Structure 1
């Protein structure tokens, strides 16, 4: 078995890891990751209002339901505008990676994204009187993330092209830098706004609706199929076994899809319904990564009971981070990475817990994730907050037990190896 794992890990490390790593290093993917991460504080704040709104207390539900419109306004202006905020963050990050003005890139991207969502006239339902312009919110949340990404690429690349070809208005040196930068963005801004206006308004081509139609098969596979969950989970674990952060590499690729699915879940729950999608990022964070990627909190517990002096020390300095889902100390301390013995349970465990959790949600035994809870919360607490379902706590504990059982024989085999090495050192 070890020889097979050695050969497999060598093949994966030499043939699969390099192209995946190169993909994750694309400037666009890095900008997407950084832009989305910049919205996390707002999303977490908005989600807390959704958690409080959905507290499973009958008297509270009876009182708050008629007041939902007022109470959920912070949720609407944070989570429901996720793509709008991310568009600025992504444009800023990509511009900075090209050594361009980040503010100009962010503003131009956001303006293009807003124009792609065409403001509409609002009429009073009773009198028919025109009240003014309003921006439809349907595609300003996670559902609009694909168009936000396109607007980022379009806007920043035009800004970069104009800068390279000197198609900018240059102000005298005496002009303050902030004013000069705003004039430098004038020509590329005019090109961007005109181009998006022609496509969206003159040609009446709805980019959001088109992209949602194109990506709907992929979204359905990712959101509600077992294979759509297993593929990213397995790839993440395989990359970690080679020493590369699989969450960063694979997460940066699939996160836009996860956000679209999560947006639909949150909108459904905010409207008093049931979350429709299983495959959101919280599925992994809450139920699979108990103690970090690979469910390594179970391994931390085993290490604390180890007869090996070295492994016991690793368990001591890994247990506290593990309780808060930080796995790096144990990943590189044991190590789990580049370790054929520990790689086996590290990959097999998440496959089993993914399958179990998927069917538990498919059959309605546990509610689907509908709230983005802070990833550093201990898993049982995070499970309840993310689903508003006490049964989620039981599922997390079951998954943790599965990890304990799967890690145990491999831990004992590795412990024996370490004890033999330690005894040789003592004799020397």
Structure 2
């Protein structure tokens, strides 16, 4: 195990640390995270429109169309909101005006959509690719827009306003040339040449979304990478999430649309799958370990366990990862990596066999796991049972390693006490 950590520290840690701080991946992560409030609130309107109680569902049925309006204007426009956040974050990383970067990114993305003329209603933009389905295009267009802005700004190819002009006006004129180039390029490609940017990108990523993103391997690989990175002291979710979250959001959007259309939910593994059924208590499903620690004979482990209990219930586990510690700790790293892979396989097959409902709601991530799983699956009580089973499995997996580590800590504590008596 020491050799494994040496290899990780020498070969994996430096590139992974660099990757997590790469400006484009960081901008994607921050931009998508900026939409979480809208996604969470919007997704709850879907629960209201389709409540898990049959009698209540009958009562709201006549009003479903109106109830779904907030859902369609939040989740349904997720890619538009994300494009602004990505553009803003990326522009700020280059020390450019964030607002200009965000606005240009939105314009670039919307230009990939083709407005349709509907008699009696004027021109309308189709929403099919404005939500999770358009997330990949939103990312590409945002990066393109900001890179054009940066390129022209670096070469001073912008309108400079005289001193005394308000900053907001000056920034608008500085974005004039970049805006013209961005709009003309995308308009030419999409509307004059007729090249379907949205369709091309979706076809390009379709194997990734359908295969890696929603298969058993698509579940096990992220689990393994996230836990091994955490064990090496790197924030695994930040690294993997920047790459995988757009895929997870596409899967979630397809599930939401399926529920809204009244058809079977197609995808097993959007992000709530990991959040509520795998990362119970945080990455590595450490809530099971916390439960053992609060009753530990070791004073140190007991104090860390008690301090970690409330955060752990709310899926915040940095206190135990760095406090126990799990990081660079061979005894606790093995169950930290192995346990979530076992519960991941169990949960995958439980949903593949339709024994438990598939997640389609993005519930607030700080909820206790059984409540979050219940909400994420639209009120499936079987999801609560599965979460409790997974907690029990994690407790069983952690137990022998915890006892071995507890024995080691007790010996150290006894040695320290004897040393203090001698002094």
1:352 corresponds to 2:342:
yes
Instruction: Kindly indicate whether the alpha-carbon contact (under 8 Å) linking 2:42 and 2:74 is maintained by their aligned counterparts in 1.
Output: yes
Residue 212 of structure 1: aligned partner: 202
Distance 2:112 2:402 in 1: 54
SS of equivalent residue, structure 1 residue 175: coil
Q: Which residues of 2 match residues 222-233 of structure 1 at below 5 A?
A: 222-233=212-223
Residue 91 of structure 2: aligned partner: 95
**Shift, 1:13, TM fit:** 2.5
- 1:106-125 CA distance string (max 9 Å, x none): 001101111111211113xx
- 1:99-148 CA distance string (max 9 Å, x none): 0001111001101111111211113xxxxxx4200000011001101111
Distance 1:87 1:203 in 2: 24
**Shift, 1:202, TM fit:** 0.5
**Which residues of structure 2 form unaligned runs of 5+?**
none
Distance 1:338 1:221 in 2: 33
Distance 2:50 2:369 in 1: 20
- 1:314-335 CA distance string (max 9 Å, x none): 0110001001000000001100
Distance 2:319 2:264 in 1: 38
Instruction: Kindly indicate whether the alpha-carbon contact (under 8 Å) linking 2:356 and 2:382 is maintained by their aligned counterparts in 1.
Output: yes
Instruction: Kindly indicate whether the alpha-carbon contact (under 8 Å) linking 1:222 and 1:279 is maintained by their aligned counterparts in 2.
Output: no
1:336 corresponds to 2:332:
no
Instruction: Give 4+ residue runs of structure 1 displaced > 6 Å after superposition.
Output: none
SS of equivalent residue, structure 1 residue 278: coil
- 1:230-280 CA distance string (max 9 Å, x none): 001100000000111101111111111111111101111122223211121
Distance 1:58 1:399 in 2: 28
Residue 408 of structure 1: aligned partner: 399
Q: Which residues of 2 match residues 286-365 of structure 1 at below 5 A?
A: 286-365=276-355
Residue 423 of structure 1: aligned partner: 414
Distance 2:237 2:123 in 1: 41
**Shift, 1:63, TM fit:** 2.5
Q: Which residues of 2 match residues 123-162 of structure 1 at below 5 A?
A: 123=119, 130-162=120-152
Q: Which residues of 2 match residues 113-192 of structure 1 at below 5 A?
A: 113-123=109-119, 130-192=120-182
Distance 1:411 1:70 in 2: 52
How many residue pairs get aligned? The number is: 418
Instruction: Kindly indicate whether the alpha-carbon contact (under 8 Å) linking 2:109 and 2:137 is maintained by their aligned counterparts in 1.
Output: yes
SS of equivalent residue, structure 1 residue 121: strand
Residue 4 of structure 2: aligned partner: 8
SS of equivalent residue, structure 2 residue 122: strand
Residue 363 of structure 2: aligned partner: 373
**Shift, 1:53, TM fit:** 1.8
- 1:280-329 CA distance string (max 9 Å, x none): 11111010111111110111110011100110100110001001000000
Distance 1:82 1:27 in 2: 22
Distance 2:289 2:146 in 1: 45
Instruction: Kindly indicate whether the alpha-carbon contact (under 8 Å) linking 1:121 and 1:132 is maintained by their aligned counterparts in 2.
Output: yes
**Shift, 1:222, TM fit:** 2.9
Distance 1:335 1:21 in 2: 20
SS of equivalent residue, structure 2 residue 121: strand
**Shift, 1:9, TM fit:** 2.1
Instruction: Kindly indicate whether the alpha-carbon contact (under 8 Å) linking 2:48 and 2:67 is maintained by their aligned counterparts in 1.
Output: no
SS of equivalent residue, structure 1 residue 77: helix
**Which residues of structure 1 form unaligned runs of 5+?**
124-129
Residue 25 of structure 2: aligned partner: 29
SS of equivalent residue, structure 1 residue 78: helix
**Shift, 1:20, TM fit:** 2.3
TM-score by length of 1: 0.96
SS of equivalent residue, structure 1 residue 224: coil
Distance 2:217 2:203 in 1: 21
Instruction: Kindly indicate whether the alpha-carbon contact (under 8 Å) linking 2:28 and 2:139 is maintained by their aligned counterparts in 1.
Output: yes
Q: Which moved more, 1:197-206 or 1:62-71?
A: 62-71
Q: Which moved more, 1:401-410 or 1:221-230?
A: 221-230
Instruction: Kindly indicate whether the alpha-carbon contact (under 8 Å) linking 1:168 and 1:185 is maintained by their aligned counterparts in 2.
Output: yes
SS of equivalent residue, structure 1 residue 402: helix
Residue 126 of structure 1: aligned partner: none
